[in-house]
Structure 1
Amino acid sequence: MPSSLATDLPDDDGAERGPRGIQSIEVGGQLLLALAHHGRPLPLKDLAREAGMSPAKAHPYLVSFQKIGLVEQEAEGGRYGLGALALQMGLIGLQQYDPVRLATPLIEELALETGLTVAIAVWGNRGPTLVRIAEAPSPVHVSMRHGTVMSLRDTASGRLFAAWLPQAQWQPLLAWEAEPVSAKDLVPILAAVRAEGLARVDGTAVPGVGAIAVPVRDGSGQVVLALTAIGPSAKVDLGLDGPLVGLLRARAASLSQRLGYRADQAAKA
């Protein structure tokens, strides 16, 4: 009979518990999770405490991790930090993550959960551009399709990108707006977006249609895409403390974390 490290065999009581792993790896992995969470080297005592074990139990794991490059120990002070192999694995993992690919199933779920149309916008050569659209069960009667370029002034996606991109990058694109607008006109609007951490519009692009856009960031803190919920004004709760904003923020934060973004480190910068 073929053998494997993880099998779907029943437990002694006959109940199938799912794949079995190697417990010692899972236990030792708590040390790596603690180092990743703190983002800095830690003394043995503190690291062991964060991993929920004694220093005597943690030390053999750290010795093994050092041998394969997952952990390094400082020559002075003896603190433990992530090693070269761990850093290489992290970089390779980030390279494998395509933000749009990761976000695509997410917007399908959000459309069903909220009853709104949810879109992914990225920054293109003419500004914020829709690259994926998940239609609501009752579609919004707005002209949106893949490749649509969104207004910088009037749409939530446009305001979101303009708020965090250098002005020199988006100011020339104001010439494409349907009506004349200057960068000075956008200053208070974009300041509000940065203060709130998202962009909200109601009827500015299309009367009777509201939208909320939240940023998704990569490991460097750059906004790589906008998650935008769009629907009839009566159905789009624009309240900052409302359930829709809370849901969008949570999903964007989870996606940003998968792309290597750490909000705690950004706050310290």
Structure 2
Amino acid sequence: MKRESRGIQSIEVGGELLRALARSGEPMMLRDLAREAGMTPAKAHPYLASFSRIGLIEQDETTGRYEIGALALELGLISLRRLSGVHIARPKIAALASQIGHAVSLAVWGTHGPTVVQLEEPAQPVHIVMRAGSVMALLETATGRAFAAFLPEKTINAALESGLDRHGVGYNPKRAVKGAKVAEMLTEVRKHGLARALGDPLPGVNAFSAPVFDHSGHVALVITAMGPEGTFDARWDSPIAHALRDCAGGISKRLGHGITAAAE
């Protein structure tokens, strides 16, 4: 019989606060966070103070609400990067960035929608409002559109209707989530196998995004190439577009995409 290792009870108790914050997915007031963790605010506060000091959580100075901190984000990103698809893709997107001379990002479908887990910048980086951990709006960004076009319709509809990506880069609270324009936009993405953004939502920055599929045909990742509109060739048949498609296709093949169909 395996002997259970001795733990520290106070850490396990405090961990309930982290779990409650993770379940919420939103910044929380002390009283609400304590209630969800099954303790009083007075009991919760010392734990939160300690978690704040080490970066597991942080408190907004204006609203007083608590949210996930930098250390927690870093740990989450490390976990995401260890996933097989991300592990395979990381050196590939670094090579792609070097090949095309533009920034390349890698995103997964996370708790709040399209989430960047890796960003490779060229020798002369361009200012882009994006970093590892950034959430990208579903309909307003090339990264988001690639997910929206190829993930199951039920998944995307639920995400759009709930505003899952409302904290995402480029998010427009007045956007239409259904209708002919949305359908036409996603049809274009499927037609070209790429999503494209031309100076919107990031002024002066163009982008292409390509989906990466796993062995079951599910979108595992999205790779996005982006750069200044003056040097980033955004034609559908441009060298950048071809290089991005080849990169995404190669990673998809490594993940087993198409192998089952070929065998059948």
Structure 2 distance, partners of 1:217, 1:161, is 11
The one of 116, 137, 140 aligned to 1:154? 140
User: Given that residues 97 and 259 in structure 1 are in contact (C-alpha distance below 8 angstroms), is that contact kept between their aligned partners in structure 2?
Assistant: no
Please tell me the residue identity of whatever aligns with 2:227: G
Structure 2 distance, partners of 1:235, 1:147, is 27
Structure 1 distance, partners of 2:137, 2:255, is 27
- The corresponding residue for 1:126 is 112
Structure 2 distance, partners of 1:138, 1:173, is 36
- The corresponding residue for 2:235 is 239
Moved more, 99-108 or 160-169: 160-169
- The corresponding residue for 1:102 is 88
Structure 2 distance, partners of 1:189, 1:237, is 20
Q: Is 2:169 aligned against 1:183? A: no
The one of 230, 242, 247 aligned to 1:251? 247
Structure 1 distance, partners of 2:111, 2:125, is 28
Structure number, greater radius of gyration: 1
The one of 154, 163, 166 aligned to 1:168? 154
- The corresponding residue for 1:56 is none
RMSD over aligned Cα atoms: 2.2
Deviations 1:91-147 (A, max 9, x none): xxxxx9801001101111111111111000111121111001101212121221111
The one of 100, 104, 113 aligned to 2:99? 113
Unaligned runs of 5+ in 1: 1-95
Structure 1 distance, partners of 2:172, 2:247, is 32
Shift, 1:183, TM fit: 2.3
Structure 2 distance, partners of 1:173, 1:219, is 24
User: Given that residues 196 and 209 in structure 2 are in contact (C-alpha distance below 8 angstroms), is that contact kept between their aligned partners in structure 1?
Assistant: yes
Moved more, 204-213 or 235-244: 235-244
Structure 2 distance, partners of 1:122, 1:162, is 12
Shift, 1:168, TM fit: 2.7
- The corresponding residue for 1:57 is none
The one of 219, 231, 244 aligned to 1:223? 219
User: Given that residues 117 and 133 in structure 1 are in contact (C-alpha distance below 8 angstroms), is that contact kept between their aligned partners in structure 2?
Assistant: yes
Moved more, 247-256 or 165-174: 165-174
Please tell me the residue identity of whatever aligns with 1:114: I
User: Given that residues 93 and 247 in structure 2 are in contact (C-alpha distance below 8 angstroms), is that contact kept between their aligned partners in structure 1?
Assistant: no
Shift, 1:238, TM fit: 1.6
Deviations 1:41-78 (A, max 9, x none): xxxxxxxxxxxxxxxxxxxxxxxxxxxxxxxxxxxxxx
Unaligned runs of 5+ in 2: 1-81
TM-score normalised by the chain length of structure 2: 0.61
Deviations 1:243-269 (A, max 9, x none): 111111111111111111118938x99
- Percent same amino acid at aligned positions? 40
Structure 1 distance, partners of 2:126, 2:157, is 30
- The corresponding residue for 2:203 is 207
Distance 1:173 1:193, change over 3 A: same
Could you list the structure 1 runs, at least 4 aligned residues long, displaced by more than 6 angstroms after superposition.
none
TM-score normalised by the chain length of structure 1: 0.60
Shift, 1:167, TM fit: 2.9
Please tell me the residue identity of whatever aligns with 1:178: N
Structure 1 distance, partners of 2:191, 2:259, is 15
Distance 1:254 1:140, change over 3 A: same
- The corresponding residue for 1:192 is 188
